[in-house]
Amino acid sequence: MPEDSYARGSTGVALLGDTIGANLDRTAARVGDHEALVECASGRRWTYSQLNADVDACALGLDALGVHMGDRVGIWSPNCAEWVFVQYGTAKLGAILVNINPAYRTHELAYVLRQAGISVLVAAPQFKTSDYRAMVAEVRGDCPDLRDVVFLGDPEWERLLATGRAADRGRLAERAGQLSADDAINIQYTSGTTGFPKGATLSHHNLLNNGFFVGEGCGYTEADRICIPVPYYHCFGMGMGNLGATTHGATMVIPAPGFDPAATLQAVQDERCTSLYGVPTMFIAELALPNFADYDLSSLRTGIMAGSPCPVEVMKRVVSEMGMTQVTICYGMTETSPVSTQTGADDDLDRRTSTVGRVHPHLEIKVADPDTGETVPRGETGEFRTRGYSVMRGYWNEPDKTADAIDADGWMRTGDLAVMDDAGYVNIVGRIKDMVIRGGENVYPREIEEFLYTHPDIADAQVIGVPDERYGEELMAWVQLRPGAPPLTAESLRQFCHGKLAHYKIPRYVKIVDAFPMTVTGKVRKVEMREVSVDELGLQDAAAIRNA
């Protein structure tokens, strides 16, 4: 009888019982003179002692503004050193940091400010084409809880830090004595495909331990220097990046405020980074730079690819061309702090490039029938579910949605389709909602995307289902070509697939694009792709057909 698709993580290394602030204090006491943070755009640098002092100043400055334990403090900014001050400073106060997506417009900003009840907002003045000052001014009257707005770089921000530096540090010791590792400390709004985003509420214990064990999976020590081009607003940046570093005394390197492939590789070269993070599209952009071979990446040892499905061919290039021989894939979701599985440095190349690894320490995972919740046998497809310290406290002020996501036994429903093999390695084969049903055949876009990556002219590919009057759905591939590649037609792509994929898995439609519609965290917005495709292909009648 086949073994169930269930696995439990190791418990050989104990969970941390600290708060985030106490853990930073311990690291600063241990490696105070070691470099903690580098901001490449400005050239600014901090040792752990200097960083901890600025974090304390930020905390005491916010305290002087009247921020109390449990108050929500918003941060709306691209990656910068001040983001780090606010992240750790609010943790030392016991305030709840609310991460606001830098790409939000006024409608989304107003929703988050109201839904979380944010009383103090720390914001950049602007980013790219967004004028944050004007946008805040536009919505402020509709956000009754918003008491103070402090823009980074303004006199008010400098005054906040100066006030904090002059304050009695005994205040922080007093606050520390009131905090618990189980306190809610962070709200992150998940980028839902429909409706308003939900605020995943995470504790010190959630975030600190997940960052620590991700770092353990990468083998971090204080000798490591981590290049973090992924956004701080998401768990990947502020959790796996910052907390992965500070729990090990490693160095955080911010290559640029927003992702820039050239700036990222320059930072790796100049700062001799040993680890590089990114979502797949970031690594694809870096590898596609015309002068990629000119960068000295010889310092790289490890890193993390995560955030969306990781193409096997891209992983192989990262290993062979970027020298990241110990690169790991992490899989998870915001609601689980975020990582549930990770590949290991000692895994063979096939498992390290074609799976998302095995269960993380102190967690449980299973692959379950989406309808019944029953664990399926290994080798069968089902919904990936996880349970343990990493599962969020819930969606902020939305108990019904929390109950929909976390079952009565504490299992988090991810919505991802997965297969677990006999050795416990997991492969993510798609989203339950992304699955395409063509003429009664279940088709998982991920499988087809992986195949399309083997085409010599294709740099990136995303497959979606579009409505079809005969089959219910048909397949469409959105494709990015490599620089200098010849034109690609639907017919030539079908010829490439012929004889290698089952006929029902071969895309009927092909669209050549320069980029995919993305969330700020690097997830492809397939719902938007489908909407665009329906309009461009004239499939409105097929889309209007109702099905049982």
DSSP 71-92: -EEEEE-SS-HHHHHHHHHHHH
Structural domain contains residue 245: no
Q: How far apart are CA 363 and CA 382, in angstroms?
A: 19
Tens-digit pLDDT profile for residues 530-548? 999 999 999 999 888 644 2
CATH number of the domain residue 467 falls in: 3.30.300.30
The predicted structure's pLDDT at residue 196: 72
Check if the beta carbon of residue 426 is closer than 8 Å to that of residue 357. yes
Q: Has residue 172 got a pLDDT over 60?
A: yes
> Which tokens hold the place of 427?
């492969």
Burial 227-266 (b: 16+ CB within 10 A, else e): bbbbbbbbbbbbbbbbbbbbbbbbbbbbbbbebbbbbbbb
The predicted structure's pLDDT at residue 446: 86
The radius of gyration of the chain from alpha carbons, rounded to an integer in Å, stands at 23
Structural domain contains residue 440: yes
Check if the beta carbon of residue 473 is closer than 8 Å to that of residue 465. yes
Tell me how crowded residue 442 is: count the other CB atoms within 10 A of its CB.
Answer: 12
Q: What's the whole-number average pLDDT of the chain?
A: 93
The predicted structure's pLDDT at residue 547: 41
**Higher-pLDDT residue of 162, 104:** 162
Structural domain contains residue 492: yes
Tens-digit pLDDT profile for residues 370-381? 989 999 999 999
Structural domain contains residue 290: no
- Across residues 505-510, what is the average pLDDT? 93
Structural domain contains residue 102: yes
Q: Has residue 387 got a pLDDT over 80?
A: yes
CATH number of the domain residue 64 falls in: 3.40.50.980
The predicted structure's pLDDT at residue 500: 85
Structural domain contains residue 212: no
Tens-digit pLDDT profile for residues 40-98? 999 999 999 999 999 999 999 999 999 999 999 999 999 999 999 999 999 999 999 99
Among residues 128, 152, 180, the one where a domain terminates is 180
Tens-digit pLDDT profile for residues 409-462? 999 999 989 999 999 999 988 778 788 878 767 788 888 998 899 999 999 999
Structural domain contains residue 509: yes
Number of domains the chain is built from = 2
Among residues 123, 155, 180, the one where a domain terminates is 180
Pick from 489, 499, 496, 431: nearest CA to 463? 431
Q: Which residues pair with 473 in a beta bridge?
A: 467
> Which tokens hold the place of 500?
């290698």
Please tell me the pTM assigned to this model: 0.87
Among residues 180, 209, 238, the one where a domain terminates is 180
Q: Has residue 214 got a pLDDT over 70?
A: yes
Q: Residue type for 497, please?
A: C
Host domain of residue 131: 48-180
